[in-house]
Structure 1
Amino acid sequence: MQVIFSHGKESGPWGSKIQQLASTAKQLGCTVDSIDYQDTMDPDLRVERLCQRLSNEDPQQTILVGSSMGGFVALQSADRFAVRACFVLAPAIYMPGYEHRAPQQRLPNLAIVHGWQDDIIPVNHSIRFATEQRCELHLVDDDHRLMTSLAQIDRWFAQFLERQLA
């Protein structure tokens, strides 16, 4: 099983959250990669980059992980490819300036984590999307970066991966 990470708008491919979650994925026997999107702020170009990568992969052996804009990218790509699962942190859905609002079909094996104190992407967006998707939703007392909750998020991620690998 491979795990492909998509970073947020102003971060990089191997930021602290991705490093932590990638380490967990490796410990569980997954291969990991993190796509570098730092050359573009355009969410649609980022989606196309990930979709191009997915066109060369077995979607059922792929788990997408994304944070913020990277969560948006992962969700949009999962909507086009039947990936195994998707784990997103504070995904940038229902935000102004994003051409696609949210995936139109139900995504199986989806988990969302969002902070109650997020001042970048309203937590209501994830609550609304989780309700539409009828998916796993974890809300934490944290801000957009979710660094205070990273240890708990990592435990949820490990449990999520274990279910996908079973």
Structure 2
Amino acid sequence: MRGHIILSHGSDSGPDATKVSALAAVAESLGWSTARPDYREDDARGHAGSIDPRLTRLAAAISASPTPPVLVGSSMGAFVSGLASLEAPVAGLFLLALPTRIPGYPRPFAVRPGVPSFLVHGYADDVCPLDEAVAFARGHAMPALLVQDDHRLGASLPDIEAAFRRFLDMLA
């Protein structure tokens, strides 16, 4: 086993969502173990209300990991992955469709300095503003893949899978 990866789905989604399922399959084909927490019960609390319960659930998954895990997150999953990196050691962050703030939640998005990170974001994302995500990435010297796609990133899955493979190879 090369390491462990925890994949966090977005709001109004689930652990079997297209992106996290596809990236889990990529990771497993490369010899990584994976886990996909189910945040659907937490998401019933609304966007701002789901963050702290999601963080608690993610912290439990991190503490159960045999080694510092790579965190992969889509949208709300990306937001909580970054915040979780502030509280526990992680090996890397692969962030998709990143919101840099959640209305009604007091903390902005942040990551632990020095954690290898990568951003994927769509030019036509109408949920998470592109300019804010790119400004965050720029301010943290975070490599990014910007694609002609919307928030769901469904049309870009082959490009995302290739970027994820390269990211994991860089960590290995």
Q: Distance in 2 between matches of 1:16 and 1:6?
A: 12
Q: Does 1:51 align with 2:59?
A: yes
Corresponding pairs, count: 164
Q: Does 1:131 align with 2:133?
A: no
Q: Does 1:15 align with 2:22?
A: no
Match of 2:76 among 63, 69, 74: 69
| Alpha-carbon displacement from aligned partner over 1:7-59 (angstroms, at most 9, x marks no partner) | 00100001111111111100110001100000012112101210122223355
Structure 2, gaps ≥5 residues long: 44-49
Taking only aligned residues, the RMSD between alpha carbons, in angstroms, comes to 1.3
Matches within 5 A, 1:1-166: 1-41=3-43, 42-60=50-68, 62-103=69-110, 105-165=112-172
Q: Distance in 2 between matches of 1:10 and 1:96?
A: 16
Aligned-residue identity in percent:
35
- TM-score w.r.t. the length of structure 2 is 0.90
Q: Distance in 2 between matches of 1:15 and 1:48?
A: 21
Residue 124 of structure 1 aligns to a residue whose secondary structure is helix
Q: Distance in 1 between matches of 2:115 and 2:89?
A: 9
Please say if residues 59 and 81 of structure 1, whose CA atoms lie closer than 8 Å, have aligned partners that are also in contact: no
- TM-score w.r.t. the length of structure 1 is 0.93
Please say if residues 4 and 35 of structure 1, whose CA atoms lie closer than 8 Å, have aligned partners that are also in contact: yes
Equivalence for 2:47:
none
Please say if residues 99 and 109 of structure 2, whose CA atoms lie closer than 8 Å, have aligned partners that are also in contact: no
Q: Distance in 1 between matches of 2:136 and 2:109?
A: 8
Residue 139 of structure 2 aligns to a residue whose secondary structure is helix
Please say if residues 55 and 84 of structure 2, whose CA atoms lie closer than 8 Å, have aligned partners that are also in contact: yes
Runs of 4+, deviation exceeding 4 Å:
none
